[in-house]
Structure 1
Amino acid sequence: MGKVKYYYDSETLSYRKIRRKKRTTFKYIMLFLTAAGLFGFLSFFIVSQYVESPKERELARELQNMELQYQLLNKRMDDAIAALENVEERDNAIYRLYFEANPIPDEQRRAGFGGINRYKKYEGFDNSQLIAETNKRLDILEKAIVVQSKSLDEIAKLAEDKEKFLEAIPAIQPVNNVSLTRVASGYGFRTDPFTKVRKFHFGMDFTAPRGTPVYATGDGIVKRADNSATGYGKHIRIDHGFGYVSLYAHLYKYNVRVNQRVKRGDLIGFVGSTGRSEAPHLHYEVFKDGNRINPINFYYGNLSAEEFDKLLEKASLENQSLD
């Protein structure tokens, strides 16, 4: 119960009870309600700024999941692009050279899309750049796959009348895997075992015991089987035609003679360590039109995909060569 208030009436010389007018009471009530409403609004505004609602938390989780999915998609595209680049390299460096077709330039393989902005519909969102860039990469990847597919169709057509050519190409590993100790060095910059200077190694070194069989990698004619080339020691050169020549160096002894015609897989010599060699191994090179090219691309004839991948990994290590 509220306190009763009085005032002193000087006319009657007595105390009278103060009676609040209804209008004043109504005004106080309205003021209280207004203040309460304003306080409630401010409280809601402040809370809504710093406290997430269940719906907002759900949307935030969906956004995080979307960002993660786009990142995973980009990772998968990186893997797909890497695999496609490996096929493109073989296409330009091997298949198209085989059939005397011009290599496809990177500008054509990786060309974007001109004209209107194809990705304008992705603008205006928090992750617009991520979404647009992912779709752009996907479009370019799809176009590169189409270009590569058409290139392989062209190669298949050219191959129809190239049976003899394919038989002549150096397309197998010159030493059997079962005879190998390891792949000592690949094509590229390596450390010279004698000078310890980094220089370009133009072939592949296959470490194997002395006397291990060495095989012709393609049909051709033996043009050299001698010890008169600096550094190579006893070595053999086979002319396969079509501009291709294979070289087998540091041999222990020969199993062929000059001008002898050989078939792919014929035994031509044995692993040794003659010439400028640190240990028994076969140094193998491939020439195209007088220029040395990477032999790693010429083992499709007797290696599985898994074996080739392992060989590629070993040959890519920048270690010390054996010659």
Structure 2
Amino acid sequence: MAKVKYYYDAETLSYRKIKRKKATTFKYAFVFLLAAALFALLFNFISNQYIDSPKERQLARELQNMQLQYELLNKRMDDAIAALENVEERDNAIYRLYFEANPIPEEQRRAGFGGVNRYKKFEGYDNSQLIAESNKRLDILEKAIVVQSKSLDEIAKLAEDKEKFLEAIPAIQPVRNENLTRMASGYGYRTDPFTKVRKFHFGMDFTAPRGTPVYATGNGIVKRADNSSSGYGKHIRIDHGYGYVSLYAHLYKYNVRVNQRVKRGDIIGYVGSTGRSEAPHLHYEVFKDDERINPINFYYGNLSATEFNELLRKASLENQSLD
């Protein structure tokens, strides 16, 4: 119940009840309602700006999860692109070269999609660039896989007429894994064991006990079996034809003679440490058209995928060579 208020009337010398006019009451009511409305608007504004609703928090979590998924997708695409680039490199530098086919230009492998903007539908969102870029990379990756698949189909067709060629090119590891102490050094810059200077190592070093068998890596003719080449000590060179020559250095002794025909897998000599060598090992090189090339790409004939990946890892370590 509202309190009754009085005022003192000096003329009548008495207290009189204060009567509120309707206009005043209406004014107070209007001010109250206006203040309440302004407060409600202010509260709503603050809530919208600074306080997330449950629905907004749910959407924010979903957006965060989507961003994470796209980041993971990009990481997987990075891995796929790296694996594909390895296949492409071997395709251009080895397989297509084997079969005298022109390498596929990088522009053709990585060509984008001109003309119509294929990614317009992704515009207008908070993460439009991330989504569009991921889809673009995926499209280019898919196209590159198609190009590589067609290239391998072409190589397979060429291989049908290249049986002799495939038998001739170096294709196995010259020392068996079970006979290896370790794979000491790969192709690339290494530390010279004698001068301790960093220089380019043109072959691969396989450490094994003295007398371990060394195998011909492909069919061919023995062109040299001597110790008259500086640094190599007792070494053998096999001419495989098609511009390929393999070299086996620091041997203990020979098992072949000059002009002898050999087949892949024949024992041609034994591991030693003759010439410029720090310890018993086989130094192995491959030449194509008188140019040294990385032997790591020539072991598909007797190594599993796991063994090849392990050899690749060891060969990439920049350590000290043994010659």
Task: Compute the TM-score of the two structures, normalised by the length of structure 1.
Answer: 0.97
1:204 aligns with 2:231: no
Partner residue, 2:271: 271
Q: Which has the larger displacement, 125-134 or 222-231? A: 125-134
CA–CA distance in 1 between the matches of 2:132 and 2:104?
A: 27
Q: Find the residue that maps to 1:302 and give its secondary structure.
A: coil
Structure 1: tracts of 5 or more residues without a match: none
1:89: how far off? 1.3
Q: Is the CA contact (8 Å cut-off) linking 2:6 and 2:15 kept in structure 1?
A: no
Map of 1:8 onto structure 2: 9
Q: How many residues align?
A: 322
Is structure 2 residue 224 aligned with structure 1 residue 228?
A: no
- Match runs of 1:104-123 below 5 Å: 104-123=104-123
Any runs of at least 4 consecutive aligned residues in structure 1 with deviations exceeding 6 A, and if so which?
none
Instruction: Please give the alpha-carbon distance, in whole angstroms, between the structure 1 residues aligned to 2:164 and 2:309.
Output: 28
* Alpha-carbon separation, structure 2, partners of 1:305 and 1:52: 53
- Hey, what's the Cα distance between the residues in 2 that align with 1:15 and 1:131? 80
Q: Residue 62 in 1 paired to residue 62 in 2? A: yes
Instruction: Point out the more displaced range, 225-234 or 37-46.
Output: 37-46
| Alpha-carbon distance, 1:247 to partner | 0.4
Letter paired with 1:6? Y
Give distance in 2, aligned partners of 1:14 and 1:209. Answer: 130
Q: Is 1:130 aligned to residue 126 of structure 2?
A: no
Instruction: Specify the SS of the correspondent of 1:130.
Output: helix
The 8 Å contact of residues 4 and 18 in structure 2, kept in 1 or not, is answered as: no
Say which SS state the counterpart of residue 126 (structure 1) adopts: coil
* Counterpart AA for 1:282: L
Q: Which residue of 2 aligns with 1:155?
A: 155
Q: Deviations over 1:247-272 (max 9, x none)?
A: 00000000000000000000000000
Per-residue Cα deviation, 1:30-62 (whole angstroms, up to 9, x for no partner): 221121121122122113321111000000000
Correspondence list, 1:184-263, <5 A: 184-263=184-263
User: In 2, distance between residues paired with 1:14 and 1:171?
Assistant: 125
**Alignment correspondent of 2:24:** 24
Q: Secondary structure at the match of 1:285?
A: strand
Report if the CA contact (8 A) 1:174-1:214 is conserved.
yes
Instruction: Name the TM-score, length of structure 2 as normaliser.
Output: 0.97
Q: Which amino acid aligns with 2:218?
A: G
What is the CA distance between 1:119 and its match in structure 2?
1.8
* C-alpha distance after superposition, 1:54-78 (max 9, x if no partner): 0000000000000000000001101
- 2:44 matches 1:44: yes
Residue by residue over 1:149-185, the C-alpha shift from the partner in whole angstroms, topping out at 9 and shown as x without a partner, is 1100110110111111100011000000000000100
Q: 1:9, 1:16 → 2: CA distance?
A: 10
8 Å contact from structure 1 (residues 9, 16) kept in 2: no
Amino acid of the structure 2 residue aligned with 1:4: K
CA contact (8 A) 1:188 1:201 kept: yes
* Cα distance in 2, alignment partners of residues 86 and 20 from structure 1: 93
Distance in structure 1 (CA, Å) of the matches to 2:14 and 2:166: 131
Query: 2-side partners of 1:13 and 1:78: how far apart?
Result: 98
Asked if structure 1 preserves the Cα contact closer than 8 Å seen for 2:4 and 2:17, the reply is: no
User: Is the contact between residue 251 and residue 270 of structure 1 (CA under 8 Å) also seen in structure 2?
Assistant: yes
Aligned pairs for 1:288-299 within 5 A? 288-299=288-299
Once the two structures are overlaid, the 10-residue window that deviates more, 214-223 or 127-136, is 127-136
Find the residue that maps to 2:257 and give its secondary structure: coil
